[in-house]
Structure formats: C-alpha cells, structure tokens
Structure 1
Amino acid sequence: MEEVDRILIHALKQVGTEVAEETLSVKQFSSELIVQAVVRCIRVIDPGLGSALPTSLPPGMSARFRVGMSLAQACQDIGYKGEIGYQTFLYSNEPEIRSLLMFLVEKLPRESAEASDQPTGKSVVLQRAIAAAIRAQLVVPWLPPNCRLPLHTETQSPGALHSFHVQPLSLPHCTKGPGKNQLKEVNDYQRDILPPVTAQPSHHASVVASILEQHMAELSAAQEWDSEWNSQGLLSRLTPQDYCSRKLSRLRKRIEEQLRSAALPPAESAFWGPRSTSDLSEILQAFRGSAPSEHILTKGTHFTHTRKFTFTQRERSQQAAAGTSTSIPAGHQSESDIQLRQQDEQLSLQEHFQQLCSDVEQLTTDMKHMSVTNAQVLDELKQRDLGNSENKDKMQVKKKTIDLLPDTDNNMLKLQALVEASAKRVVNLASQWEKHRAPLIDEHRRLKEICSNQDLESSRKLSEIKSLHDKIRVSTEEAKKKEEIYKQLVTELENLPQDASRSAYTQRILEIVSNIKKQKEEITKILSDTKELQKEINSLTGKLDRTFAVTDELVFKDAKKDESVRKSYKYLAALHENCNQLIQTIEDTGTILREIRDLEEQIETENVSKTVANLERIQDDYKAIRQENSALAAKVREG
C-alpha cells in the first residue's frame, strides 16, 4: 500500500493539493487535507461542479457537516459507487479514503499528461494520427449517399462503400496444427512463394472481410471442438488424437458406403438394401448420368455369346451371298434398283433382328421362369429330405421299442438300473459342480466389486476432469481480462507525466509483482499441501471405516459363541465410538481456532478503522455543537 499511497500523493500534488513532504501515506491525511484533495480533483474533473465547493473546512461544526454532505453528493454525481457520507471526510477511515482517492485519480483527464518531452517514435506518432482521424470521423454525422452534398465528399467518400465479399485465404498458422511437423516443401512454399494476405484476394476491398471471416471461422472451429470434446470426447475416454482418428475413420466409412450404394445399378442397389435419400447419394446419382440401357456394357452368359456369334456369322454369309449375286450384273443395273434392293435388305434384316430380339426376350423370360421353378423344386426337395430324416428317426425309436416288447420285465429292470445310475451320476455331478461353483461365485463377486469400484473411480475422475475444464475456462477468461487491464494500465503509465522517475515506479511495480508471485507460489503450495492432507485424511478415514466393518463382522460372528469375544466386541464398539468423539473434538477445535483467527482479523480491521479515535472526535464535536447551541440560545434570549 505504500507504493499506491506514493502514487496517489504524486497525482494529488499534480492537481494542486498542498501535501507536506513528510506525509508518505494516506493514513497521515487529516480531515482538512482530505477535503482539499477531493475538491481539487473534482475541480479538474468537472469545473462547474467543483467551483462551488470550498477547499477547507469552516470552523463551525454545523457548517462542516454541510460541507461533508455536499462533497459526498459531488462524488456521487461524478460516478462514485461506494458508500460515502459526511463521516468519510470528518471521521476519516483509511480504506474508504484510499478507495475514494484512487477513484478520483483515475477520473482525472489524461490530456495534461501528454508532455512535449515524451519520447516519440514511429509507432507512437502513427497511433496518435489514427486516434485523431477516428475522432474527426466520429464527430461528423453520417449521411446516406443520396443525401450527401458536395461539401461532404471529402469526409464521407462513396469510395468506401463496397459489398462484403469474402475470398479464401492461405495462412501459415492455419495449415500447421498442434504437435504436427510440416514438410520442407510446405515451409519453402510459405516462405518463398506464398503471397501476403493483402495480395491474395482479387480485390483490395475484400481483404478486411476475408480476414474477419477467417478469424471467425477459426474461433467457431475452436469453440465447436471445445464443446464437442467436453460433451462427447471426455465420455469416450480416448485421447484427442484417437478421438479424431476414430471420427475420421467413421466419416470415411460412411462416404465409402454412400459411393458404393450410388455406384450400384438400380437392381443391385434394390437387392443390397433400400435406396438412400441423402444428399450425397442424389448428387452421385446425378453424376452417373442417364445413359440408355442398351449402350451399357453388360456381362453376358455363354449361351448369349454363342447365339450372338452364330447370328453374326449367318448375317455375314447372307450379305456375302447377296453381294456375289448382285456383283455380276452390277454394271447392267441402275442406281434406283440398287437403292430399292438395299431398302428391301434393310427391312428384311430389321424384321430378322426384331424376331431375334423377341426370341431372346422369350428365352430370357423362360429362363427366369425355369430358375424360379428350379428354386421352388429345390426348396421342396430340402423340405422333403428334412421330413424323411425326421420320419427315419421316429421309425428307429419305434423299432427299438418294438424289439424290447418280448422281454418286458428284464428290459424294465435294465431301464430302472440305467435311471438309477443316471440319477447317481447327476447327484455326483451336482456335488462336483457345487465344489467348483462356490469359488467361481466368490471370484465373480470380487471381480464385479472391482468393476463397480473402477466405474465409480472413472466417473469421479471424469467429473473432476470436467470441473477442471470449467476452471481452466474460467481462469482463461480471467487471464484475458487481467491481460486487458494490464494493457490498459501500461497505456495509462505511458501517458503519465514524465516529472516522476518512471524507472523507479517500474522497479517498484516489478518488486510488487515479484512479491505477489512469491505469495501466489506459497498459497499454491499451501493449497497443494492442504489437498494432500485432505486426501490422506479421506483415505485413512475410509480405511478406518472398512477395517472397523471387517473387524466388527469377524468379532460379531465369534461373539455368538464365546463370552470373552462378546466383551471384546463391546470394547471394540466403545473404542470406535470414543475415537469418533475424539476426531469430532479435534474438528471442533480446528473450527474454533479458525473462528478465533477470523475474530482477531476483525479486531485488527476495527483497529485500523480508528473507531476509538473517531468516537472521541465525535464526542468532542458533540460538545462543541452543544456549546454553539447554548451560545445561540443566549444570543436569542438577549435579543
């Protein structure tokens, strides 16, 4: 707090507060100095509001109360949200005064901090120019293009209006994933050939839109991966690499099934399963095209190949005979006769072809009918074979029964002997099974218990992992907020006046940060030790409960038979109860010690608040008010 107080005192001196050199802390501020500092800050923040406020306290107590109330109202008007009243100024409290002064110092305008002796670099000059241009554009009201006058063409040019057109970008950090090494060729391409981002879009106006779209795509992908991993990935109990590979294999398998179903002909696809109605199958079916069925090459049978070969040979022989018959008098025939003959031959060939097609169709239908009939006959034959085998078995049983009928008495005795032997063998097997069954059941119960314990442990660890993920997300958000606050504080530090030694402040801040880091490490160590102790206590408690349960069960079994064991069982129960009471007493003692420490901290806080001194000052002020009231009453009587 000493460093904070020194910074506050330096800022108050900058606004004109007369702080003595020996004053090094807010704790040493008097009521008059507090009022002066607050009024000076309010006058700098809001001159109209602070001009009516006095910089010193009047001698009368009632006037002091009125000044305190007006100062509290002024602080609330400029945005102070803390608890404030006349007692804040008259009966000062160190934490309240420090928070109020910090608020007022933060509200001070920063324009006066831009001194001419500040180091100005290219980045600082560029940032100032950008800020000035943005301020100038924000001051000018925006008008639609149709309502603009020639006067507005300089500030609001129509050239800045363009459509939001996005083009894909190639960024090096996007092509490289975590834990993956890029190829040398890829690195060479990105270093030597890949153009910069501003040169990749075809139009310069699309650069900003493309960068924003790329950034939003990366953020949405990262958020989707986080949500998917927290919801499904953790439940799969796989590593992220295994989860991604399994997901990729499932996607590839699905694509292969879609391609296979789309590449099959309609009959085969109907045979293999119902046609898929997904978008991918429809697109692939559209890419197949609608070629005529007669142009598709199909695999024929031996009969179709033989018939086709025979028909082609016959047609060729007929054409050769016709050619030889017409080749002799070709010189004596006219062209019209030749055309008529060709037309007749074409018609005859077409009729012959149609006849062959009809024959082929008839043969195809006959073959289908015969194949169906053959399948039906084969099914009937199989059913009859099954029925014959069942009848044979029944006949064998009946034959054996008929063979046993002549010697019924002896056969009955043999059957009874076999039944008795079978019963004895069953009893023997049952006894042997019981011998084997008992250890197997015990082993099954033990394994089942281990499995249930493992399930409970895995569910507990899964819940811990989810809670850790939530804590990591919260910590990340807090770190981002703190990073933003840090950047803001750095910018404010750069804008501070250069009269003070910046290196000294920087050194002090670094010392404070190092102390905070040390304290944080100590706190982390204490927390880890506390967690380890808690885990050890929990394990010992569980072990104690399990040991007592097992001991209680064993002693209780023997207590039914032996009187001495029964007394031991009573002593065991009394020992367990006394131990529980002792543990409870220790826990209560720890709770009482914590409450004592909390009360001591509260006492220290009250001592810091100077409650006793403030009460004495209030009593003195009360006596002064009574004296003023009595003096006023005497004046009224005299008048």
Structure 2
Amino acid sequence: MEEVDKILIHALKQVGTEVPDEVDSVRLFSSELVVQAVVSCLRVIDPGLGSALPSSLPPGMSARFRVGMSLAQACQDIGYKGELGYQTFLYSSEPEIRTLLMFLVERLPRGSAESSDQSTGKSVLLHKGIGAAMRAELSVPWLPPNCRLPHTQGPDELHHFHMLPLSVAHSAADSQPCKELFEYQRDVLPPVTSQISHQACVLSSLLEQHTAQCSAAQEWQHEWSSQGLLSRLTPQEYRQRKRCRLRQRLEEQLRSAAQSSSDTGSHSASDLADLLQAFRGCTANDNMLAKGSHFTHTQKFTFTQESAAPCPLPQTLPSQGNTQLQQQDELSSLQQQLQQLCSDVEQLTAELKNRTVTTAQVLNDINKRERENVDKHDQIQVKKKTIDLLPQADENLLKIQALVETSARKVLSLATQWEKHRAPLIEENRRLKEICRIQDMESSGKLSEIRSLHDKISVCTEEAKKKEQTYKQLVSELESLPQDVSRSAYTHRILEIVSNIKKQKEEIIKILSDTKDLQKEINNLTGKLDRTFAVTDELIFKDAKRDESVRKSYKHLAALHENCNQLIQTIEDTGSILREIRDLEEQIESENGNKTVANLERILEDYKAIRQENSALAGKISEA
C-alpha cells in the first residue's frame, strides 16, 4: 500500500493539492486535506461541477455537513458506485478514502495522467488559478453601472470609452523598414503614453488603433483575394496601379472644376489652376495666371493709384515743435486717402464682377448664335444645290440613277469580297474564343487552387504559431523541473509493483489449486468410507441373525460409524468457527483502522457544537 499511496499523493500534487512533505500515506490525511484533494480532482475532471465547491471546510458544523453532502453528491454524479456520505469526509477511514482517491485519479483526463511523471511547476498552478478566476468572473451576471454595488465594481474603476488619435509610424506590409523610419521612431516620435494626457484613454486608444490596423489588413486581404489575384499582378504592381488610377481621377476632377470656374469667370479659377499644377508636381505657367486673382488686382490698383497721386514733398524743414502736429495731419490725410482707395477698390470689384457676368452672358449668346448660323448656312447650301439642279431635272435624275446603280454594284462587289474575308475571320474569332475560354477555365482552376493554398497556408501558420507557443511553454516548464528525478525510477517502481502482483496472483492460484485437491481427496475418502460401511454393514448384518457375538459387533460398528460422523462434523464446525474468528479479527482490525472510537468522540463533540449553535440561534430569534 505504500507504493499505491505514493502514486496517489504524486497525482494529487499534480492537480494542485498542497500535500505536506511529511504526509507520505493516506492514513495521515486529515479531513481538510481530504476535502482539498477531492475538490482539486473534481475541478480537473469537471470544471463546471468542481468550481462551485469550496476547497476547505467552513468553521460551522452545519456548514461542514452541507459541504460533505455536496462532495458526496458530486462524486456520485461523476460515477462513483460505492457507499458515500458526509461521514466519509468528516470522519474519514483509510480504506474508504483510498478507494475514493483511486477512483478520482483514474477519472482524471489523459493530459493530467500523462504528465504525472513530471513535478508541478508554478506556471501550471498560476495558469489554473487564472482560468478558475476567469470562469468565476464569467459566471457572475452583468449588471448596469447604476445597479452595481461598491464592493463589486467601484466607481473609480469605471471610465467612458473615449478614444484619442495616436501617431504611430508604420511601413507598408510588403516593404522592409528603412533606416530613416527607425531613426524617426527612436528620436522624434514620442511614446504612446506621452501622446495622451489622460491615462484612462490609453487602453481605448490602443484598442481603436489596433482594430483599425486589423480591419485595414483584412480589407486588403479580401480585396487581394477577390480582385488582386484576377489581375495577375504582384501586390506591389497592384498597389501602384491603384494609386495611379486614384491620382488620375483626382486630376480629372480638379481639371473639370478649374474649367468650369474659368468658364463662369469665378475668381477661384486661378487657385484651382495652382492646385492642379501643384498636384501635377510642376509650377503654374504664366498664361494660366494671366487673369490674376482678386488680391493681385487689388494690390495692383492700390499701387497705381498711389503712384498716380504722389504726396508733395515739403519745401522747408519744419521746426521740432510742429513735427508732431504735421505727422498727425499727414496720418489723418493718409487714412482718409486709404479709406477712399478701399471704397474705390470695392466699387471697382463690384463693377468687375458685373462686367464679368455680363461678358460671360454675351459670350454664351455669341456662341449660340454662331452655332445657329452654321446650321442655317448648311441648310442654305443644300437648298442652293437643289435649286441649281432644278433646270435640268431629267438629266440630273439619270445621272443620280447611274450613280446609284454604280454604288449598288460597288456595294455588291464589296459584300462578296467581305464574305470571302469574313469566313476565315469568323473561324479565327471562334478559335480564339475557344482558346480564351480554355485559358479562362485553366486560370479559374489555378485561381481556386491558389485560394485553397492561401487558406491552407493561413491554417498552417496558425497551427505553427500555436505549436510554437506550446513548445516554448514546454521548454520553460522543462527547464524549471528538477533534474534529479528520472522516469526510469518510476518505471522501475511500477515494474516491481507489477511483479509483486504477479507473485501474489500465482500464490493465490496455487492455494486455490491445493484447496481444490484437498476437497477432491476429502470427497473421495468420504465416498470410500460410506461404501466400506455399507458393505461391512451388509456382511455383518447377515451373520448377526445367527450369532450373538456378531450381533454385538454390529452394534459396535454402528456406534463407531456414528462417532466418526460426529467427529467429522466437529472438525467441520471447528473450521467454520476458525474462519469466523479470522473474519472477526479482520473486522476488528478494519474497525481499529477506521478509528471508530475516535470518530464516535468526534461525533459527540460535533453534536454538542450543533446543539450550542442551535441554542444560540434560538436565543437570537427570541431576542428579535
């Protein structure tokens, strides 16, 4: 049993039970340790069932009885068939606890059984604790912020999901990071925590930034799978072509806007022209700036007015006393002139706008009338040619008919020639269409293969990442394991146990065979004895009728046979009594192992504690 207890204790340590080092047998398990071991095994076997059970006994006796009943019910739910109750955990006996622990260890998952040759690391216990805490948090129902209690989620932990933009330098997915980008990230770009003033917004901003990057990558992957592969271009070429198309569309929009502004005479035409030239990457031409903007006209007009009316220079130098007065007079006169110039500029600007609108209307009318004149001129030419042909109508009709006939013959000859050329062209067209159809089918098949390969690559990549993480975790656990424990020692011990079990089985088989042989011999002797007595009885009984001495011998023979039967019955009774004695001794030993007296004393103490609790509760109820 020592080897069995060591294996059980080792398996219990693997599932997270804190068994002290001095405990090396199930006999030394206390009630608290039994409850902890059973709960640890139940949490590994069925997390949903074991997470609701406490891992330690409460102080109150009634609560202890409830915990014991819950553990017994949980063990029966997972398939335990033996007798089980609260007394198994509160007043434990060694055989019952060993049987229960052996059942729970056998029901552990294969992953836990395979890892039984390794010692428990702190990382494994930490992961299990994190998982249990997450399951406990997920089992709690969600409540609105106004309904939450202060001890569950305090108001200081609640923040609005407010996002702030982050400046994160990143390169294209298909390009290598350059040296300038690395230097910019290292020397210029501030950290993310420094870009946001309020620290509560850091997590939400990072989540938003990461979501945007993931969505952009997903959109690009979807676009490349649906359209990029069909273009038969590389990702760089596809991006370049898309960028060029976008640039052309912007340029067309700007050109159309600049043209419409120039037709209407708006002052923003030059600004749009400058923007178009800047978008193209070159400076604006002089002819495009011929009209000039509103600011240039205003500035030019101001300078021309000032040059046309220069201020007269003083003939004599004024005295120092009159300098300030002259300066004020000059300043006031200059301000009046400036106001007059500004009003003149506004009037001229309004007149210029009106003249521009009028000019545009006049130009539209001129263009419209020119188009009407061209149409009328064409009609006049047709009518003039028709009138010139009227004096010689018959001759002209004959000429027209001759021209029509010659044109018809030409059309027929051209049709015959076209038919000659058309047949091989149609055949060539059909052949090329068939080739294109075959190529499209091949390309679609290859495209589907490429998509399936992409899917397989993504699945293999995820599996490789998971296996890499598992490998790293196993390597770290392997490094943390003690190096002095070897698998061969456990294998040797298991082989020794198996050999001992084989020897015991051979001895049991030998004893059973000996018992069967003895039983057969006893049966043979009993049959031989009965047959001998029957023959002897028959012979003596024949002679007993004639001889008195033989009659006495027959009586002695009957008495001897009866005494032998009594002796055999006495021997059988003695054997059965000895067997009962051995059974009673085994029961006494098992009862001594069950600690019956100590358990009875503990039951009495618990009964007294329950009575005290009941009396205390009754007193509280009466006081209330």
TM-score, normalised to structure 1, is: 0.40
Structure (1 or 2) with the larger CA radius of gyration:
2
